[in-house]
Amino acid sequence: METTMRELNQQTARVIGAVERGEIVTVTKDGRHVATLVPPSLAPAHYPFRTDPMGDELDDAPVLPGGGGRLVADRDELMRGFGR
């Protein structure tokens, strides 16, 4: 289904009803696509946070520059790596 911004404004209940029935609604403004309304069952999952908090254990591990990939042993060694 396609609807204009004006129709969406004036007939919101009808448009949302169509989405509830499983239709995908394209919203246009001045002939260009500005939004797509989809039922929750068809919407892609969106996570505002990283979904795998563990990740690869070496992804974010601090490594000393020029240290041959050796992990930083402690805070002081890490700060020296930043020139402090």
- Residue 83 falls inside a structural domain: yes
Q: Nearest CA to 15 among 31, 34, 37?
A: 37
Owner of token pair 């690869």: 56
Task: Kindly report whether the global pTM for this prediction surpasses the value 0.85.
Answer: no
The one-letter amino acid at 60: D
Question: Domain span at residue 18?
Answer: 2-37
- Residue 16 falls inside a structural domain: yes
- Residue 43 falls inside a structural domain: no
**pLDDT digits 0-9 by tens, 7-66:** 999 999 999 999 999 999 999 999 999 999 999 888 877 766 666 655 555 455 555 566
Structural domains counted in the chain? 2
Report pLDDT for 48. 65
- Residue 17 falls inside a structural domain: yes
Beta strands in 5-84, from DSSP E residues, in sequence order: 25-29, 32-37
- Residue 69 falls inside a structural domain: yes
Band of pLDDT at residue 83, cut at 50, 70 and 90: confident
